[in-house]
Amino acid sequence: MLRQSLLYLSDNQTLRRTVSEARLSRRLVDRFVAGETLDEAIAVSRLLNESGLPVSLDHLGEAVITKEEALSACDMAIRSVERIAVDGIDANISVKVTQLGLDIEEDFCLANLERILRRANELATDDGEIFVRLDMESTDYTEKTIQLVEALWGRGFRNVGTVLQSYLRRTPGDVKRLNALGSRVRLVKGAYNESEKIAFPDKFDVDDMFVEEMKLLLTDGVYPAIATHDEQMISATRRFAFEQGIPRDSFEFQMLYGVRRDLQQRLREEGYKVRIYVPYGVSWYPYLMRRMAERPANLLFLATSVAKESPLGRAARPVAVGLGVVAGALAASAWRGRNSK
């Protein structure tokens, strides 16, 4: 119900305009999103690299309907790969298969991915390849995304991998499947609304599965990415790697731009590789709402700043109140216990 409210808000154009225009909430946007242009994202990435953090660039966007939109997303991915090479940024990229036309035609999406991977291979240097990660979306796309990785693997590409979500009941099987293939996996908890039939509703189960799958990946996988801000998941990973004698450079942690910057630096100082997921682009609003859903405190801050600063004045108040109510409910649900994901 709370997630659905935020999903509704993520489509609300009045709120989007209000959030963009209020100065304080703009600061919140800037904290989680690296900018609207590739130039801005490269500048942020350079700063992160200077503090010892590699990045994964993500050009924000939602599912496309036309081939033109998909081709334009594909061109953008190629441009970002080219900028990484020209500017010497320590980076790879993350893409969404629905942005590259999966809903239009699977072969068309595959061809777009091949174009990106071929260009990334052309630009690889002795220092390393440019890796392309297929972000994982809702379960409508899980099987198709894994099949795309397998198809690309079959065509000889090795600089491609995807993401598995520990909230899905099917994931242990998928971990084994991708470990056997030899492609890299990013492990996350999962960010979409899924039914209990296919996803664990209880946070305890999601966390337990995360730990089990992390172990499978560290033991049998290829350079896995453990993507979380949860200190318990991070401690479990460090402990397991230590006990099993798994070297620190055979896996990496990943975190989102703007989230737990203290933890990012601490892990880096302890000698772990920490890659920062850097989102950018004009379609930042739904991404921001998903980050709000993960932390009620962010949403309260947003509601307060919208109410205080909106140039729409009284017209924006219902929106701010709506945000406040959702924030309060989220806070209450978080306080009630760990049982709601």
CB neighbour list of residue 239: distance below 8 Å, 6 or more residues apart: none
Residues 203 and 340: beta-carbon distance below 8 Å: yes
Taking the C-alpha atoms of residue 154 and residue 59, their distance in angstroms, rounded to an integer, is: 27
| Segment contacting ligand FAD by CB under 6 A, of 43-51, 187-195, 243-251, 311-319 | 187-195
Of residues 16, 133, 186, 275, which has the active-site annotation?
186
Taking the C-alpha atoms of residue 99 and residue 134, their distance in angstroms, rounded to an integer, is: 11
Residues 126 and 164: beta-carbon distance below 8 Å: no
- Which neighbouring-strand residues pair with 277? 56, 256
**Residues 92, 98, 102, CA angle at the centre, nearest 5°?**
115
Q: Is 192 in the site for ligand FAD (CB under 6 A)?
A: yes
Q: Is 223 in the site for ligand FAD (CB under 6 A)?
A: no
Spatial CA neighbour of 260 closest among 294, 237, 293, 305: 294
The 135-154 site mask, x for binding ligand FAD (CB under 6 A), equals xx------------------
Residue from 16, 59, 119, 189 that binds ligand FAD (CB under 6 A)? 189
Taking the C-alpha atoms of residue 61 and residue 286, their distance in angstroms, rounded to an integer, is: 9
Q: Is 184 in the site for ligand FAD (CB under 6 A)?
A: no
Residue from 70, 132, 163, 241 that binds ligand FAD (CB under 6 A)? 163
Residues 61 and 331: beta-carbon distance below 8 Å: no
Q: Is 298 in the site for ligand FAD (CB under 6 A)?
A: yes
Residue from 18, 98, 171, 254 that binds ligand FAD (CB under 6 A)? 254
Q: Does 140 qualify as catalytic in the annotation?
A: no
| Segment contacting ligand FAD by CB under 6 A, of 35-43, 234-242, 251-259, 280-288 | 251-259
> Of 157 and 210, which has the nearer Cβ to ligand FAD?
210
Q: Does 230 qualify as catalytic in the annotation?
A: no
Taking the C-alpha atoms of residue 142 and residue 31, their distance in angstroms, rounded to an integer, is: 30
- For 82, the token pair is 């080219």
- For 69, the token pair is 């939109």
**Nearest distance, CB of residue 70 and ligand FAD, angstroms:** 19
Q: Is 106 in the site for ligand FAD (CB under 6 A)?
A: no
Q: Is 229 in the site for ligand FAD (CB under 6 A)?
A: yes
Q: Which residues of 320-336 are buried (b: 16+ CB within 10 A; e: fewer)?
A: bebbbebbeebeeeeee
Q: Is 237 in the site for ligand FAD (CB under 6 A)?
A: no
Under rule CB under 6 A, how many of the chain's residues touch ligand FAD?
23
Q: Is 294 in the site for ligand FAD (CB under 6 A)?
A: yes
Q: Is 226 in the site for ligand FAD (CB under 6 A)?
A: no
Taking the C-alpha atoms of residue 30 and residue 198, their distance in angstroms, rounded to an integer, is: 35
> Of 92 and 310, which has the nearer Cβ to ligand FAD?
92
What does the radius of gyration of the chain's CA atoms come to, in whole angstroms?
20
Q: Is 78 in the site for ligand FAD (CB under 6 A)?
A: no
Of residues 58, 119, 135, 291, which has the active-site annotation?
135
Q: Which helix (H) or strand (E) holds 55?
A: strand 55-59
**Nearest distance, CB of residue 245 and ligand FAD, angstroms:** 26
Write the DSSP string, 156-168: T--SEEEEEETTB
Q: Is 230 in the site for ligand FAD (CB under 6 A)?
A: yes
**Nearest distance, CB of residue 298 and ligand FAD, angstroms:** 6
| Catalytic residue positions, numbered | 135, 186
* Chain contacts with ligand FAD (rule: CB under 6 A): 135-136, 163, 165, 188-192, 227-230, 254-256, 259-260, 277, 291, 294-295, 298
